């Protein structure tokens, strides 16, 4: 399946990526299956090393069971590396089944090289920007990107509030991608809920990452609320 296959949420081609950071790790596969059955299209895997961000999460070995589930459901594995020197691990995550590998601009000294290393491994290449990192840092690689991820919280923990300035940043990011004639998808991650989802997609977001807002409580009802947020009122 192409990364650029859009599943229509009624009349809006927004992709919902279920971040397993919000799932119950003791029931990870069952929880993720429930989210995919309810309509999430991507599995967003947050990898943290305790150095780039002040938390430690999971690594490539955990992706084995999820890869089988993703293949069964036709979902994409969207891997977000919040780690120092990510080049060391690109091959591991590609082998573990990543369809998309996103690295942080702030963690890559030679970002152009890293982007092309990801592509050479047969994965789509994404770059993430922390809240303090300007969109303008992407000018010289925008045309090479498959995905641009704008962080709407300071990464490290699920359940944080969406930083309001992100909406304007998404608009600038979309403009930059268009100016570069880039086909990259624009993704937003952090504090995204069904209440602010429409604001983010109106600003240009193509992919919404949600953790707590999907996995806390009734997963199917939560995803339906995201769907409703995208319906156009005629």
C-beta separation of 91 from 160 below 8 A:
no
Please identify every residue annotated as catalytic.
46, 189
Spatial CB neighbours of 220, under 8 Å, sequence gap ≥ 6 = 34, 37, 38
Task: For residue 159, give the DSSP letter.
Answer: T
Dihedral sign, Cα of residue 133, residue 80, residue 24, residue 206: positive
Q: Among 42, 20, 53, which residue's Cα sits nearest to residue 130?
A: 53
CB atoms within 10 A of CB 48: 21
Spatial CB neighbours of 156, under 8 Å, sequence gap ≥ 6 = 48, 53, 54, 55, 82
What tokens appear for 51 in the block?
């150095």
């Amino acid at each position: 399946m192409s990364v650029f296959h859009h599943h229509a949420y009624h009349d809006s081609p927004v992709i919902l990526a279920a971040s397993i950071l919000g799932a119950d790790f003791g029931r990870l596969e069952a929880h993720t299956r429930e989210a995919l059955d309810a309509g999430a299209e991507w599995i967003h895997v947050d990898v943290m090393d305790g150095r780039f961000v002040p938390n430690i999460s999971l690594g490539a070995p955990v992706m084995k069971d999820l890869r089988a589930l993703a293949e069964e459901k036709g979902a994409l594995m969207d891997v977000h590396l919040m780690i120092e020197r990510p080049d060391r691990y690109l091959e591991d995550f590609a082998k573990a089944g990543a369809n998309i590998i996103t690295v942080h601009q702030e963690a890559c000294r030679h970002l152009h090289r890293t982007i092309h290393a990801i592509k050479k491994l047969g994965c789509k290449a994404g770059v993430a920007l922390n809240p303090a990192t300007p969109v303008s840092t992407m000018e010289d690689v925008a045309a090479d990107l498959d995905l641009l991820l704008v962080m709407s919280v300071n990464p490290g923990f699920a359940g944080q509030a969406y930083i309001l300035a992100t909406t304007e940043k998404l608009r600038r990011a979309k403009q930059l991608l268009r100016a570069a004639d880039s086909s990259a998808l624009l993704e937003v991650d952090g504090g995204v809920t069904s209440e602010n989802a429409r604001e983010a997609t109106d600003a240009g977001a193509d992919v919404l990452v949600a953790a707590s807002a999907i996995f806390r409580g009734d997963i199917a009802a939560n995803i339906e609320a995201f769907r409703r947020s995208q319906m156009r009122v005629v």
